Amino acid sequence: MRLQQKLSQWGYYNGPQDGYYGAETYRAVQKFQRNNGINPDGVAGPQTLAALGLSAPAAVPAVSRGVTSGRDELILLARVIEGEAADESFTGKVAVGAVIANRTKSADFPRTISGVVYQDHAFESISNGQAYRPLSQDSIRAAELALSGYDPTGGALFFWNPAKPVNPWVWSRNIITTIGNHVFAR
């Protein structure tokens, strides 16, 4: 919430000051970063917080497989897991998180969790708001495991529910496995 307050004071953020690191906060951070010579990755890391006059959280973000897993990124990942896989098994939840983590390693996607999550039309739960419903402990634990490197998909970069309408292009991807109601592919 301090981040949103400061961004609002400086004219970068007009959304609710609710402490949720949603799309509006992400875009405001990117705009601030661009205007202040900071890599515009949308992550409020130590350099961005210092430029805003805010102190970094006491806990140092853990790094796993090159993915910064600070609290904001962890919660954002858990939100997408909740929105995309709330009714899936725990393994299915971890698998959704692993796909997002895997994308940060691919040259075809942004290098951060927030960059991947907020790509246009990347995740239905961001578009339809399902990612912003209350978080379950399972989704938080699944996000922690995915960020720590557990990947039940075997390196998937895509997932979809074949019972829902999807772009036919996705079926051209190399299918790796099915977990619950989701198909996982490269």
CATH of the domain at 80: 1.10.10.2520
Instruction: Give the chain's count of helices (H) and strands (E).
Output: 8, 5
Q: Are residues 8 and 67 in the same domain?
A: no
Residue span of the structural domain in which 47 resides: 2-52
Q: Are residues 68 and 36 in the same domain?
A: no
Average pLDDT by consecutive 10-residue portion of the chain (186 residues)?
A: 82 81 79 88 78 61 44 92 95 97 93 90 87 90 92 95 89 95 96
CA atoms within 13 A on the CB side of 70: 15
Tokens of 124: 């239905």
Q: Are residues 67 and 147 in the same domain?
A: yes
Q: Where are the beta strands (DSSP E) in 11-144?
A: 63-64, 67-68
- Position 62 scores a pLDDT of 39
